[in-house]
Amino acid sequence: MKGITTQEGRETLNKFKMEAANEVGVNLKQGYNGDLTAREVGSVGGQMVKVISPEQQWIFTRNSVRNTGHCIEITYAVRLSV
């Protein structure tokens, strides 16, 4: 794993991976997990990404500049990355 240089860093990442697996219902074991399907492994990784970089959404309502008396709903979705 590139960038994980300390034992504490490895342990923190493994703990985070186990928590993500538990949240999506994947039975992840310590060590080798070659019996898992690609879908299961992907769901764990996807859950980790969701937690690390959550998507935020803002919804604004404003008056239409073309039609008097009408409102337009505008949605801004932003993905923040760390």
Residue in 80, 12, 18 with CA at minimum distance from that of residue 44:
18
Cα separation, 34 vs 40, whole angstroms: 11
- Per-residue pLDDT at 11 exceeds 70: yes
H or E stretch at 71? strand 71-79
Cα separation, 27 vs 50, whole angstroms: 19
**2-9 CB contacts, 8 Å cutoff, 24+ apart:** none
Instruction: Give the pLDDT mean for 3-26.
Output: 88
Q: What is the band of 22 on the pLDDT scale with cuts at 50, 70, 90?
A: very high
Instruction: Give the pLDDT mean for 49-73.
Output: 73
- Per-residue pLDDT at 61 exceeds 90: no
